[in-house]
Amino acid sequence: MKDCLSCTRISRREMMKQAASLAAFMAIARRSDARIQSAGAPVRGTARACIFVYMTGAPSHLDTFDLKDAPWNPPDANIQQFAGGVTLNVTLFPKLSQYAGDMCVLRSVRSWEAAHERGIFYMQTAHPANPAFVAETPHIGAVVSLEKGGGGPMPPFIAPNGNSMQGSTFLGGSMSPMMAPANQGGLSTIEHNYFGTQSQLRFEERFAMLEELEAQPRAAAIDGTLKDHAAYYQSAKRLMYDPAIGSVFRFSNDENLRYGNSSLGRSAIVGRNAIQAKNGTAFVALNQGGWDTHQQMFDKTYAPNMYTLCRELDSAVGNLVEDLRASGDLANTLIIMMGEFGRTPGPLNSRGGRDHHRDAMSVVMMGGGVRGGQVIGATDSNGASIIEPGWRGQRPIVMEDIAATAYSALGIDWTKSVHDTPSGRRFEYVPYGQAGLYTAIEEVF
Amino acid sequence: MNFIDGQIFGEMAAAGIESAPLSSDTEFLRRVTLDLTGRIPSPERVREFTTSDNLYKRTDLIDSLMQSAEFVDYWTFLFANKFEVTSRYYNFIGVPGRNLFYNFLRDFVARDRSYAEVAGEMISAGGDTHVNGPGNFLIRGMQQGDPIQDTWDTITDRITTRFLGVKSECISCHNGARHLEEINLYLSARKREEFWRQSAFLSRMTLNQIPVDAFNQQWHFLIVDRSTGFYSAAGIDVNNAGPRPPRRGSYTPAYMFTGEEPKSGNWRVELARMVTSDRQFARATVNYIWAHFFKYGIVDPPDGWDLARIDPQNPPPAPWGLQASHPALLEMLADEFIRSNYSIRRIVRLIAESNAYQLSSQYPGEWRVEYERYFAKHFPRRLYAEEIYDAMSIATKTLTPMFLDGFSRPLTYAVQLPDSIEPSNDFRIGSFLSNFGRGDWFQTQRTSDTNVLKVLYLMNDNNVNFRTFGTRGVSTRVAELAQSELPDSEAVTQLFLATIGRPPSEDELQMLRRRRTGDYEPWLSDIQWSLLNKLEFIFNN
């Protein structure tokens, strides 16, 4: 592979452009086995979609999912034990506690990073933020889209409240997150409402005119970027005037209030709608910021504090779980909740908060074939370090293992790697997955 | 015809590759107007240019575009993007710092100052960043809350990347060995110590933070160099060691690319001299300019140089090859750049006047990927967000004034904006620009990717659509035409000229006539809408 930037430079550049369309990418992938390698890992295939809740800022594991009987708990804490050792502070999580039986809590997780930006990158990609490869390290959601997308007109990867997140990089634009903000009124740009009752008819006429004008130039376009751009007109049109698509993005104010009247809540509603509609979406990224509680974390007059953060999460994800359960979709939808690292152990710091800590953190998985009502691993009484891995890996769980587990649930061979990156370096779905260094956590299922 | 053509067509001939034909007048006019001024030509200009029988009309056009105020706007925009000095970089720069920096660049472009001098001033800038513009380039690399060594290291990488085309960030954390063998032969042999010695040029620089207002919400800086000191790992708080792995030892400066040590105690002045007199400075700069016009660099990507693979007299060991597609041309351009006292305009003119740049983007024969590195046809580039916005406003005659802090007159074009946060008073324009990927010059990279939301936006958002109507009380080109007594074919021709810079073909005209079933205005409006959604509109072909 020493020739990576010279001899094969051109074909790779072309490859990048072609890869922007899934069909082209898969055709190439099939044509030459050398481009995709895999160790053929056994996979579960219990989920058809994944909802990933990014608790950015890094939540305190000690005050959310790894509670201790300790003096630092606030006086109003109502800590209850649920089946399988799951414990929750019901004051903070009134709704989620009703679904503790669906939760698998991983307490023996360790982060590679203790800086937000790098940690968030790791959480989104399961790869280090190596500056040389950042531009060719796709989001986990883009890999899921590549593998599971194409099931309908909806984009495979949506991130209603995403901003400046890692995209699909060399996997191309159709695998990139659709960051259409969640608004009650829906997505205004999927309709062309300028002509009253005649709007749709008039749009069809305009579109037909455009198509006729473009037929020849599109056919003649030999340049990949032009072709890609043209292809989006078809996918965009498919989203329009389809009631099933429009309703994914629309919701009532009652629902907004029930989900907590927050950006996270509204995005969770759109995520729920997309999952229930089963019209193409395979990965939903939900984002909740504010977990960087260095000070006054239990002070209700300080923003953000644990009360507002946990209740926002509780309303959004609690109701999401409730609704997906009721519609029968929870069983095949994997939900993951986590932040980029843990927070400092033991008593609160002198400012009433907790600082960055990477030696221990917690991850919650629900639905999608996950066996709920169980805890994997344990930390010491201060929550400082992992004393019991609790799984056959016999070592702390890291982001690579979380990703492998999610891929396995989704039926994706996580030992796969793709060779046609811009630099020519192999992109492994899970770093060192093929070598067996990291692996799916079978105990989760 | 100039030496660029000798090289480009010579290589093609040697390989037996046919080039695409020369671009048509309309193709060339729109292309060069966009590449030199960021804006599309007016219908009048298209008519005048295509009907002129002046043999030198392409050269004359380049002359007049390069003398225009639009050229200064656009090239300032390109350099402002390169250095990303945004007022929202934490609260370190602010609107005053940004305006000063922007005006510094604008003056450089307007007067065609020596780029070596300008780069040197940025590297060695001193004084108050709310008085002197160039210092804000340094502040843009300041790392909030991390040890000062991280600021030095980050600025070092920004200097090598932007001025020398070499991303040195990798070796700011680890040696090149066992990391970069497959990526970059030159950097794979560099050690972290060498980076620290490079970074040490900045280690006497102090950035003294001064509050702008009583609430300390905004800062400016007094940049002062001490006469003593060196790069040292000592004194870094282990609990706040920053994002890079621990450092060891103490270092005095040595220029990474030659080993040269400073001859005087003013290390940043010495660094500025070494960088700007480095031949790689000239090579990297002409290659960045080339990539603007050709979409790809002669070395591509233009910020990914491998210095061990540039000399044809000293080729790298197999299986590596030379990195540049046209090594000799690169040297000739670098020579010319140096000879012209680092004149950006000199290189811009050479490229714009070459036949190589003026090839058509349509390739008549069977296109093969191997032809790409020969530049055998022109590669279309998607317009930048700002260019799309301006083209749309110009085409539809819906220019909107934008009011900015510290600017005495309102601006009319997005390529005149000094910062990715502007216009802060008009959310609609800002959202259009964000939607098409302008980025924030900080955490979100600029992108020219397309996605489904962008296409939906272009088709359906009111920000675009209000410009296509002729009956809703908005002054638009369609409204003007709808009220005119022009025959159908003339009105359509005007819309085509104004929007995509060429008249409609006979077939297109017939098709559009056939589609006219009802009133004049809705028909014109539909045509305007279709043209804004054509590939030809959103790409520079």
Q: What is the DSSP string of B345-373?
A: HHHHHHHHHSTTTTB-S--SS---GGGGG
Q: Pick from A187, A226, A344, A419 the residue to mutate for testing the B interface (most B CBs within 10 Å).
A: A226
Residue A294: pLDDT over 50: yes
| The pLDDT value given to residue A230 | 86
Beta bridge mates, A51: A284, A335
Total number of residues shown for chain A: 445
How far apart CA B442 and CA B335 sit, in angstroms, is 34
- Cβ–Cβ gap B182/A132 under 8 Å: no
Over range A244-248, report the average pLDDT.
Answer: 94
Closest Cβ opposite residue A189 in set B170, B379, B456: B456
Scan residues 237-276 of B and list those with Cβ closer than 8 Å to A: 243
Does B17 touch chain A if contact means CB atoms closer than 8 Å?
no
Chain A, chain B: beta-carbon pairs less than 8 Å apart: 161
Quickly state the pLDDT bin for A40 (edges 50, 70, 90): confident
Cα-flanking dihedrals φ and ψ of residue B489, to 5°? -65, -35
B chain contacts of residue A155, beta-carbon cutoff 8 Å:
452
Closest-CA distance of chain A to residue B461, Å:
5
B chain contacts of residue A214, beta-carbon cutoff 8 Å:
534-535
Closest-CA distance of chain B to residue A115, Å:
7
Residue A15: pLDDT over 70: no
Strand-pair category, A49-55 with A333-338: parallel
Closest CA to B169 of B187, B181, B183, B146: B187
A chain contacts of residue B361, beta-carbon cutoff 8 Å:
223
Closest CA to A232 of A27, A14, A22: A22
Does A34 touch chain B if contact means CB atoms closer than 8 Å?
no
B chain contacts of residue A233, beta-carbon cutoff 8 Å:
455, 459, 533
Residue A162 · residue A139 · CB < 8 Å = no
B384: its two tokens: 């930048």
Cα-flanking dihedrals φ and ψ of residue A417, to 5°? -140, 150
- In chain A, the percentage of residues whose pLDDT exceeds 70 is 91
Does A5 touch chain B if contact means CB atoms closer than 8 Å?
yes
Residue A25: pLDDT over 60: no
| The pLDDT value given to residue A433 | 93
Cα-flanking dihedrals φ and ψ of residue B96, to 5°? -65, -45
| The pLDDT value given to residue A20 | 35
Least confident of A145-159, A282-296, B205-219: B205-219
Q: Pick from A3, A183, A223 the residue to mutate for testing the B interface (most B CBs within 10 Å).
A: A223
Does A219 touch chain B if contact means CB atoms closer than 8 Å?
no
**Which residues 6+ apart lie within 8 Å of A262 measured at CB?**
A312, A315, A316
Containing A52, the helix (H) or strand (E) segment is strand A49-55
Does A210 touch chain B if contact means CB atoms closer than 8 Å?
yes
Assign B171 to helix, strand or coil: helix
B chain contacts of residue A11, beta-carbon cutoff 8 Å:
369
Residue A436: pLDDT over 50: yes
Scan residues 180-209 of A and list those with Cβ closer than 8 Å to B: 180, 187-192, 194, 202, 205-207, 209
How far apart CA B254 and CA A332 sit, in angstroms, is 59
| Mean pLDDT score across all residues of chain A | 89
Closest-CA distance of chain B to residue A132, Å:
7
pLDDT in tens, B110-164: 999 999 999 999 999 999 999 999 999 999 999 887 899 999 999 999 999 999 9
Over range A79-86, report the average pLDDT.
Answer: 96
Query: Vertex A30, ends A27 and A32: CA angle to 5°?
Result: 115
Quickly state the pLDDT bin for A33 (edges 50, 70, 90): very low
Letter string b/e over residues B29-45, b meaning 16 or more CB atoms within 10 A of that residue's CB? bbbbbbbbbbbbbebeb
How far apart CA A405 and CA A400 sit, in angstroms, is 9
DSSP A187-236: -GGG---SSGGGHHHHHHHHHHHHHHHHHHHHHH--SHHHHHHHHHHHHH
Does B102 touch chain A if contact means CB atoms closer than 8 Å?
no
A chain contacts of residue B170, beta-carbon cutoff 8 Å:
130-132
Does B451 touch chain A if contact means CB atoms closer than 8 Å?
yes
| The pLDDT value given to residue A74 | 96
Q: What is the pTM of this model?
A: 0.87
Helix ranges (DSSP H) in B185-245: 185-188, 192-199
Does B478 touch chain A if contact means CB atoms closer than 8 Å?
no
How far apart CA A353 and CA A200 sit, in angstroms, is 55
Q: What is the chain A residue with the closest CA to B450? A: A229
| The pLDDT value given to residue A35 | 60
Closest Cβ opposite residue B515 in set A155, A207, A209: A209
Quickly state the pLDDT bin for A34 (edges 50, 70, 90): very low
Closest Cβ opposite residue B452 in set A206, A222, A239: A239
Dump strand ranges (E) for B153-230.
205-211, 219-225
Does B434 touch chain A if contact means CB atoms closer than 8 Å?
no
- CB neighbourhood size of B58 (10 A): 20
A chain contacts of residue B382, beta-carbon cutoff 8 Å:
225, 229
Does B131 touch chain A if contact means CB atoms closer than 8 Å?
no
Strand-pair category, B127-128 with A417-418: unpaired
Assign B51 to helix, strand or coil: helix
Strand-pair category, A157-158 with A283-288: parallel
| The pLDDT value given to residue B216 | 65
Global ipTM: 0.92
- Cβ–Cβ gap B459/A236 under 8 Å: yes
Closest-CA distance of chain A to residue B177, Å:
14
Residue A19: pLDDT over 80: no
Look up tokens 């007299």; give the residue.
Answer: B313
Does A6 touch chain B if contact means CB atoms closer than 8 Å?
yes
| The pLDDT value given to residue A116 | 87
Does A232 touch chain B if contact means CB atoms closer than 8 Å?
yes
Beta bridge mates, A105: A364, A375
Scan residues 155-184 of A and list those with Cβ closer than 8 Å to B: 155, 163-164, 167, 173-174, 176, 178-180
How far apart CA A363 and CA A342 sit, in angstroms, is 10
Cα-flanking dihedrals φ and ψ of residue A79, to 5°? -90, 125
Assign B84 to helix, strand or coil: coil
Residues of chain B with pLDDT under 50: none
- Cβ–Cβ gap A217/B182 under 8 Å: no
Closest-CA distance of chain B to residue A394, Å:
27
A chain contacts of residue B364, beta-carbon cutoff 8 Å:
none
Residue A2: pLDDT over 70: no
How far apart CA A66 and CA A362 sit, in angstroms, is 7
Closest-CA distance of chain A to residue B408, Å:
33
Quickly state the pLDDT bin for A11 (edges 50, 70, 90): very low
Closest Cβ opposite residue A425 in set B182, B373, B449: B182
* CA A85 distance to own-chain centroid: 26
Residue B364 · residue B46 · CB < 8 Å = no
Q: For residue B82, give the amino acid letter.
A: K
- Cβ–Cβ gap B382/A202 under 8 Å: no
B chain contacts of residue A205, beta-carbon cutoff 8 Å:
515, 526
Does B527 touch chain A if contact means CB atoms closer than 8 Å?
yes
Residue B357 · residue B351 · CB < 8 Å = yes
Does A217 touch chain B if contact means CB atoms closer than 8 Å?
yes
Closest Cβ opposite residue B460 in set A4, A115, A192: A192
pLDDT in tens, A101-148: 999 999 999 999 888 888 999 999 999 987 668 889 999 999 999 999
* CA B537 distance to own-chain centroid: 20
Closest-CA distance of chain A to residue B239, Å:
10
Quickly state the pLDDT bin for A172 (edges 50, 70, 90): confident
pLDDT in tens, A364-390: 999 999 999 999 999 999 999 999 999
| The pLDDT value given to residue A362 | 98
DSSP B404-433: -TT-SS-B--GGG-SSTT--TT-HHHHHHH
Scan residues 341-400 of B and list those with Cβ closer than 8 Å to A: 361-363, 367, 369-370, 372-373, 379-382
How far apart CA B448 and CA B465 sit, in angstroms, is 22
A310: its two tokens: 């946990």
B chain contacts of residue A176, beta-carbon cutoff 8 Å:
449, 451
Over range A237-255, report the average pLDDT.
Answer: 95
- Cβ–Cβ gap A189/B453 under 8 Å: yes
Letter string b/e over residues B297-329, b meaning 16 or more CB atoms within 10 A of that residue's CB? bbbbbbbbbbbbbbeeeeebeeebebbbbbbeb
Q: For residue A343, give the amino acid letter.
A: R
Q: What is the chain A residue with the closest CA to B305? A: A5
B227-234, Cβ contacts within 8 angstroms, sequence gap of 24 or more: B227/B265, B228/B204, B228/B265, B229/B203, B229/B204, B230/B200, B230/B203, B230/B204, B231/B149, B231/B152, B231/B196, B231/B197, B231/B199, B231/B200, B231/B203, B232/B203, B233/B149
Does A11 touch chain B if contact means CB atoms closer than 8 Å?
yes
How far apart CA A330 and CA A310 sit, in angstroms, is 22
